[in-house]
Amino acid sequence: MVNNKKAISIFPASPFVTSEEKTESKVTKITKEEKQSMIEKVEAEMREAARNLEFERATELRDILFELKSD
């Protein structure tokens, strides 16, 4: 069975903003509750990417999680 649902990223790819800038701007301006919610969403998106064999995307999301959790 093929899953045709497309995951919605909270960190869309952009040639103008680095992933470091995206993480920094989000982490420094959110509450602890919002941060935890963001971590949960990124984890779910990472698992979905891995299920869909999108390993590069899953790796990017893993790196974002490391940044979010390091603060």
pLDDT of 19-37, one tens digit each?
A: 665 555 544 578 889 999 9
Judge whether residue 62 has pLDDT over 80: yes
Over range 42-67, report the average pLDDT: 96
Q: Look at the alpha carbons of 38, 4, 58, 17 in this order and tell me if their dihedral is positive or negative.
A: negative
Residue 69's Cβ-count burial label (10 Å; 0-12, 13-18, 19+) is: exposed
User: Are 69 and 39 a contacting pair, CB within 8 Å?
Assistant: yes
The Cα 64–Cα 19 span in angstroms is 8
Report the pLDDT value the prediction gives residue 50, as an integer from 0 to 100: 96
DSSP reduced 3-state for 59: helix
The domain spans of the chain are 19-70
Q: What is the mean pLDDT of residues 50-56?
A: 97
**pLDDT value at position 24?**
58
